[in-house]
Amino acid sequence: MRMRCVLLVVLGFGFGLSAEEISTGSLAKELYDLPRLAEMPSPFYKVVQFSSYDHSSALPGGPGWFANADGFGKEPVPNFEGVVRAPESEDQPGEYLICDVEGPGAIVRLWTARIKGTVRIYLDGSETPVFDGPAEQFFMRPYDAYAEAAGFDKALLEGTLYQRNAAYCPISFAKHCRVVWLGKIPDIHFYQLEVRKYDADAQVRTFAPEDLRTYADALQTACARLKNPDVVPEGTPESFTLTLAAGERKEGWKVEKVGAIAWLKLRVEAADRDLALRQTVFHGIFDAYPWGQIQSPVGDFFGAAPGVNPYTSLPFSAFPDGSMVCRFYMPFQSNAVLAFENLGGQEVKVFGEVLRVDHVWDEARSMHFRARWRIDHGLTGDGAAPLDLPFLLAQGSGVYAGTVSYVLNPNNVPSSGGNWWGEGDEKIFTDDDVRPSLFGTGSEDYYNYAWSSEDIFLYPYCGQPVNTGPANRGFVTNYRWHILDPLPFHERIAFYMELFTHERNENMAYARIGYHYARPGLMDDHRPITREAVRPQCLPENWLPAARGAAYHSVFFQAENQIRKAVKSQFEENAMYSAGKLYRWQPEKAGDELEFAVVLDATAEYNVSLVFAEDVRSGKVSARMDGEPFGFGGSGGVADLFTPYRVMLRAIGGAPVKLTEGHHILTLRYEGGEPGAGVGIDFLWFQKR
């Protein structure tokens, strides 16, 4: 596949940039500029997304609205804006239009799960593409095409402008942007491309490959700020401490003058801290609005509930000591109050630090920060009957800035193929949209990952700080911040996410926050947070793994029932574990072994896995089947189960093994770990291939 990077000559602009001009350099600063979000953008722009969503989803709420052929190939309706050149036959590539945008704008986000073929980008009517190369590189690492020639260290882009399956690499254009895909329709072709469409009079300098040299300082600064966002602004925070009895509400901090909160730190203490983080409600009240612009459980507000799960993103961080920090900028015109309400039954202490800074309230552009939490208990997810869950429905003007989903998933299939909850797409309408401005291809795709991945990942704009497992069972939390790609709206926003599960899944709970800024006068669909809403969330007790979905043809054995010889051990009880308990082996030294005896009812080739607890109390293990290694744990044959701050269930196996009907011995060997570490084994999993 060839690659061409061509320098575009941009007419009409001198080398000196005017203050209003939009360029790669100005957009690089927007990658980390949080206070900018608190003002309506000028020039104004609308964000639209071109994606491989099932284009038969044409009538909102009508037939085909939940169609799900999002790019696997051979869709009934091509997943593109148009066909430029039809293929001569099915095994030949065609040429398809991804987007064709007139006027000034900028590409601000790209994403793919997998895409073959070639992408070409034409800017401002040029017949020579500024990018002509592998589609997957364009959607995940577009600046790699230009870095070497520009002398830019592309290693700086990893984890900053490149985040998981997404890329935040601005590509601006003054007049026109046209993106085409050359590929075979039967091949997988998942994609998302977000574009800012500026007002017609916006002055935009068109992207050129040498921008990585011209604006190297701005890009390097952006990478550094995204890599290390835990910087406290200058100033001295004010501290407060509250003790809240059950049912009590108190003010923690108050100010009676114009300003902005630039940095906020909270910590909660209680006998059951995790429960207190859900049942202590945070109210942020700006300019005497009778309903606080912020209404959320304290823990959920910071994006990593349930409990404290340490992570760092650009606007939020959570730390091992239980403290949590918010860097979203919160202006107010005359006064602000931070209050806390204990909707639980235990005493709670709240410790806070607030950094107020001077701020000039602009009557035409300034906005309040808003974060209003909601939850639905007792939901039934059903792939045969999906539904649109509202995240935010609002009338007025503002800017959408981020999303968090908190899912309780009780499905007892231990694989993502079966217990996956997030097949549904985001559908975001702004202003006069007839079809959504953003129509996605799956919940995980919105959150910048793919393929219902279960792993913990943490980036400046996106992450999965919680996934208790196995696979996507249990508690799952995802966040995504719209920093380079905020969604401005003049009159309304309607954000829906489909609840679309692999199989019927009863008694789910789904909490969420749509973080946004709003001009005075915005009205939304918020409902009061009640004691019922913040009731304790519990997984079903005594669940057992089910041989359905991708776990078909499986047989499961509870670990404690298959042990050949007694060893030092103990049980831990928790509803996250199958049958309500975990077998915790406590080896005395490296080299100690634990044997499980199983009886199989058929001769077959099996995938053999053990479902372990990964936590701070776990060490390293290897495994043998009937005395022989079977590739357990991947390269090196050792699985490291040590995971600080989190407790997760994960299935770990090896290469397929041919096993006969009858008795077999699965041996675990302890390979060491921290002093006192052990091995938590939930169940054994044998799946016929």
Domains and CATH numbers, the chain: 24-227 (no CATH), 234-365 (2.60.120.1390), 367-535 (2.60.120.1390), 553-688 (2.60.120.260)
pLDDT at position 74, please? 83
Residues of the chain with pLDDT under 50: 1-19
Cβ atoms of 350 and 241 within 8 Å: the answer is yes
pLDDT at position 231, please? 85
pLDDT at position 635, please? 85
Q: Kindly report the three-state secondary structure assignment for every residue of 513-570.
A: EEEEEECCCCEECCCCCCCCCCCCCCCCCCCCCCCCHHHCCEEEEEHHHCECCCCCEE
Which one-letter DSSP state was computed for residue 222?
H
pLDDT at position 13, please? 30
DSSP-derived 3-state class of residue 494: strand
Helix (DSSP H) and strand (DSSP E) numbers for the chain: 9, 46
pLDDT at position 2, please? 38
pLDDT at position 90, please? 80
| Residues 68-96: b if buried by 16+ CB within 10 A, e if exposed | bbbbeeebeebbbeeeeeebeeeeebbbb
Structure token digits, residue 610? 């053990």
Cα distances (Å, whole numbers) of residue 313 to 329, 351, 438, 451: 15, 22, 23, 22
Query: Cβ atoms within 10 A of the Cβ of 266, count?
Result: 25
pLDDT at position 233, please? 84
Cα-flanking dihedrals φ and ψ of residue 99, to 5°? -155, 155
Asked if the bond preceding 233 is cis, omega within 30° of 0, the reply is no
pLDDT at position 12, please? 33
Cβ atoms of 346 and 269 within 8 Å: the answer is no
Paired sense of beta strands 294-297 and 368-381, if any? parallel
Task: Name 476's bridge partners.
Answer: 407, 467
Among 39, 23, 103, which Cα is nearest to 486's?
39
pLDDT at position 651, please? 98
Give this prediction's pTM: 0.95
pLDDT at position 3, please? 41
- Cα distance between residue 212 and residue 166, in whole Å: 19
Residue 106 parent element (H or E): strand 105-111
Which one-letter DSSP state was computed for residue 22?
B
Structure token digits, residue 73? 């190939």
Cα-flanking dihedrals φ and ψ of residue 526, to 5°? -65, 145
- Cα distance between residue 491 and residue 178, in whole Å: 29
Residue 356 parent element (H or E): strand 348-357
